[in-house]
Chain A
């Protein structure tokens, strides 16, 4: 099993969800995060105080699935989330040791 962790632009979430659903992905977890890569932030000013805000809001999307499906899903996410401008994000893959479905106590790939 693999965990796909994708850092994407927040407004790309709907496109991503539809694309991975078409490939049969049935589980997804989304968190609001903040960070930066090469895309830097912007400046804000509040009544005489000026702040350089380095961090940019993003979404972290996590999907756990079997090894064979992973490559296609990564490709789909990549295509749908690309704008061509700095800040499109990143995708990381990591191996997953075990997965358990809480309701049925199933484990292994069936639970992912």
Chain B
């Protein structure tokens, strides 16, 4: 619709001059080598992505898990997710951001230069994946804070319906400090693209980049940092806490599958913030990351229910919800490294392997990973991480890894898939070992002091009344 705006020839010239003057202001104010001011589109996108990840946690993950437990325990899951989220945010502000994302003396832990977000204001800047392109550092902080706050929430699925609330919160504090922050640092901390002015400059920053970053392990949005990390912690936890009372003999079906579907849908939608926000810029490449996330998840959902249909006779809503999550987990490390058709393959392959992990493997090994934290997040994350090394290949539609010294992509013919997969296996292996050991020590210490599990009587009564003095449904 055209408004009756009157435009004279002179006023458009004035607007052009004005725009040119405006563009010169940063150079006039900051000088010739000034960091370029952030693009408002990029700032909008990092904030929007952050909101989407918050939505993934509250209420996405909460409802996803809540629907899968029995009615007498639903509040306990909702509480655990929400309170862990709040704790995670605060811890990240106080010291987590500094430990994960500031330069340390080694490749494993950051330093304390950003304790209490020291020195960070609305004008502080941080780099992206493009040279001479910054976003507000607080934007990066809030985004990463939501990651640090959702990841521990994943673990609770393995301990559902029997963990003591206080014990869980203490575990999360220890695990975030000694597993999440260092692994985030190892995988994601680097000097930034602007430091790579020459090979000598690249070599100089190597010693302070993260250990796994230096190994070439690719993890665009957190396949290792979030999913394998939380997944193995979940497995260790469910083995130590033991099976639920009645597991194997009593039916323990989900009390509200529609609630789980709502949660899974919120997770899928929010995940576009999780994956595409990890691009740190709202540019053309971000739309590829979006596409990959969309395709992989759709493929995974279809694959999961097709397996169910053939093997079990009926496709289920719970299966569709789980398939979607499995696909999302698998595409998380890959979304910025692979092509669109590669994403479809990754989603489908991960879903099929995860279906087996949540049924055959689980039954064979006999552990009670109540909400399949290991089966979906750890296994899905491992599959996704390895396939990232495969489908990153230009021959398979991938992007390969940009060379910031040469300012170009490498020769496609030179792609060494073996070397890439080995780099990915470094990420997988170190994360499994590091997080597994931290979790083992933490769970054991807690069990020996305050106790990890409620009593059998309390478990039969239900955690909602026992731990929270509330009933979810009062009619």
Interface residues, chain A, CB within 8 Å of chain B?
44-51, 53
Contacts and interface: CB of A to CB of B under 8 A. Distances in A.
A53 B316 contact: no
Nearest to B359: A48
- Most chain A beta-carbon contacts within 10 A, residue among B253, B308, B358, B360: B253
Contacts of B253: 44, 46, 49, 51
B251 A47 contact: no
A47 B252 contact: no
Nearest to A53: B251
A45 B359 CA distance: 11
A45 B358 contact: no
Interface residues of B, number: 19
B316 A46 contact: yes
A20 B194 CA distance: 85
B372 A45 contact: no
B114 to A, nearest CB: 42
A51 B363 contact: no
Query: In this complex, which of A45, A46, A48, A50 has the most chain B Cβ atoms within 10 angstroms of its Cβ?
Result: A48
A45 B316 contact: yes
Interface string B2-24: 00000000000000000000000
Contacts of A44: 253
A53 B251 CA distance: 8
A50 B308 CA distance: 12
B327 to A, nearest CB: 15
A50 B313 CA distance: 12
Contact of B314 (A45, A48, A51): A45
Contacts of A50: 312
Contact of A47 (B314, B360, B372): B372
Interface in B374-409: 375
Contacts of B240: none
A50 B372 CA distance: 15
A108 B253 CA distance: 47
B252 A49 contact: yes
A81 B301 CA distance: 42
A53 B359 CA distance: 19
Given A44-B253, A46-B254, A48-B358, 11 more contacts: A45-B312, A45-B314, A45-B316, A46-B253, A46-B316, A46-B318, A47-B318, A48-B355, A48-B359, A49-B252, A51-B253
Contacts of B314: 45
A49 B253 CA distance: 8
B306 to A, nearest CB: 15
Contacts of B252: 49
A47 B375 CA distance: 11
B347 interface: no
B322 interface: yes
B319 interface: yes
Nearest to A45: B312
7 contacts: A46-B253, A46-B254, A47-B358, A48-B358, A48-B359, A48-B362, A49-B252
Interface in B270-323: 308, 312, 314, 316, 318-319, 322
A45 B372 CA distance: 15
Contacts of A48: 355, 358-360, 362-363, 372, 375
Contacts of A45: 308, 312, 314, 316
A50 B252 CA distance: 10
Nearest to B375: A48
B376 to A, nearest CB: 9
A88 to B, nearest CB: 26
A47 B322 contact: yes
